[in-house]
Amino acid sequence: MTRETNWQDDATRDLMSLGGRLALLERGHGSHVWDADGRRYLDFLGGIAVNALGHAHPVFVDTVARQAATLSHVSNYFATPQQLELAARLKQLAGAGERGRVFLANSGTEANETAIKLARLHDRDGLIVSLEGAFHGRSTGALALTPKAAYQDPFRPLMPGVAHIAPTLEALEQLFAGGERIAALVVEPIQGEAGVLPLPDGYLRRARELTTEHGALLILDEVQTGMGRTGEWFAFQREGIVPDAMTLAKGIAAGFPLGAVVTFGDASDLFYPGTHNSTFGGNPLASAVANAVIQEIQDRDLLANVALRGRQLREGVASLPLVAGTRGAGLLIGIRLTAPVAADVRAAAHERGLIVNAPTDDAMRIAPAYTIGDAEVAEFLELFAAALDDVAARRADAHTEENPA
């Protein structure tokens, strides 16, 4: 594990950030990054589903430079053309129609905090319900919707008025049959942090029916699945439903911090002046980058590439050792392993110069750039197969040692 032990914990002690010690990354180009020792890695995590155009893409670089030289920030007493253009683009891509509205924030967490306030404005006395296995962020409101003991317990008491249900159709039916007042149901179409776990078939359609019937909002957290990651602009579009609100971030500006909430129909009228705002949210720099990223995805038909490369990757890994199957959509791929060795696979991949992620004990997550081509797919499959071979061989050795002939 030379690559991992080279990097000293000591060197990051000034950072309160609790992680980030795998390597000291200095630069990137396309789907590759280089560390301080000049080692090259194939980045198939993409900043956790953020770097939609890869690293240092000319469109990103030019837009940041041009907009920074024009207008970077103004107070939210003013609007800017970039912000208006982005709102119009998001509404159009989401099919939010005339009534749709957009709030621009800085991150997924902040977008979800906005959505929580939207739910409170809709029904202050109803429960906000999220799913077990969900990840909606770590600020106090978003944390209350993220039912993982290790994240929540040190910070109790959490925001009240929240409940969690299992991510099953039965639990959904029970929730609405129970007579409890529900303000909003908040769900991710695919739970990324839970190991790229899709909702059961028909879940979103039934959730739409039940929330409508009971006067609750359906809020989709598309922070990870949105902006083309699954091969559609938004994952809900595959299901033929329309939510009341959707939160976005990650890939929206391909590495420039930006979050958004898009509302549909009546939910668009809930916020009124004085109820919410953000100093940096939707500044012209971030908005210009998002506009340029969206334009590039459209000009290059990158959603088709996301679907194609996703299929190639899923087919390519299916027959590799230790692989039990795949899940997810487009370029948000979960690779199920036959044993709880995800951390070992991640480390072996890192050692060979491949960045992937192990969100659970037995699943790997990859979320590469939308721009990957044959070369990146081939390089990934070679490195990933070698990493799996390493782990399989070590397991076989350990087994032989435990059970000598």
Minimum distance, C-beta of residue 132 to ligand PLP, in the bound complex (Å): 14
Helix axes 58-68, 284-299, angle to 10 degrees: 150
Q: Which residue is nearest to ligand PLP (CB)?
A: 108
Q: Which of 33, 143, 185, 249 binds ligand PLP (CB under 6 A)?
A: 249
Share in percent of the chain as helix, strand, coil (round to 5) = 40, 20, 40
Q: Is 48 left (phi over 0), alpha (psi -120 to 50) or beta?
A: left
Query: Per CB under 6 A, which region of 67-75, 210-218, 219-227, 331-339 contacts ligand PLP?
Result: 219-227
For ligand PLP, the binding residue among 51, 63, 82, 109 (CB under 6 A) is 109
Quick one: 120 or 250, whose CB is closer to ligand PLP? 250
- Residue 102 β-bridge partners: 262
Q: Residues 104, 127, 223, 261: which binds ligand PLP (CB under 6 A)?
A: 223
Bridge-based pairing state of the strands 162-165 and 323-329: unpaired
Does 176 bind ligand PLP (CB under 6 A)? Our answer is no
Cβ proximity to ligand PLP, 54 vs 108, nearer residue: 108
Residue 34 C-beta-side C-alpha neighbours within 13 Å:
9
Least gap, CB of 138 to ligand PLP (angstroms): 8
The residue from 44, 135, 264, 271 that contacts ligand PLP (CB under 6 A) is 135
Three-state SS at 200: coil
What is the size of the binding site for ligand PLP (CB under 6 A)?
15
Which residues have a catalytic role annotated? 135, 221, 250
Lay out the sheet containing 40-43: strands in order across: 25-29, 32-35, 40-43, 354-355
- Part in contact with ligand PLP (CB under 6 A); list of ranges 108-116, 309-317, 334-342, 351-359: 108-116
- Look up residue 250 and give its DSSP letter: G
Bridge partner list, 254: 256
The H-assigned helical ranges of 319-371 are 342-351
Closest CA to 329 of 164, 204, 166: 204
Q: Which of 35, 43, 113, 221 binds ligand PLP (CB under 6 A)?
A: 221
136 contacts ligand PLP (rule: CB under 6 A): yes
CB of 391 to ligand PLP, least distance (A): 26
Q: Quote the CA–CA distance of 329 and 199 in Å, as a whole number.
A: 12
Question: Residue 143: what residue type?
Answer: L
Does residue 384 touch ligand PLP according to CB under 6 A?
Answer: no
Q: Which of the ranges 18-26, 161-169, 216-224, 320-328 carries the binding residues for ligand PLP, by CB under 6 A?
A: 216-224
Closer residue to ligand PLP, CB minimum distance, 82 or 112? 112
* 264: nearest Cα among 210, 216, 205, 218: 218
Applying CB under 6 A, does 242 fall inside the site for ligand PLP?
Answer: no
Separation between Cα atoms, residue 11 and residue 18, nearest integer Å = 13
Applying CB under 6 A, the span of 20-28, 133-141, 154-162, 379-387 interacting with ligand PLP comes to: 133-141
What is the spatial distance between Cα 186 and Cα 162, in angstroms, rounded to a whole number? 10
For residue 107, the minimal CB distance to ligand PLP (Å) is 4
Binding mask 277-306 for ligand PLP (x = CB under 6 A): ------------------------------
**Cα-based torsion angle of the residue sequence 180, 184, 185, 190 in order, rounded to the nearest 10 degrees:** -170
Q: Provide the binding-site residues for ligand PLP, judged by CB under 6 A.
A: 48, 107-109, 112, 135-137, 188, 192-193, 221, 223-224, 249
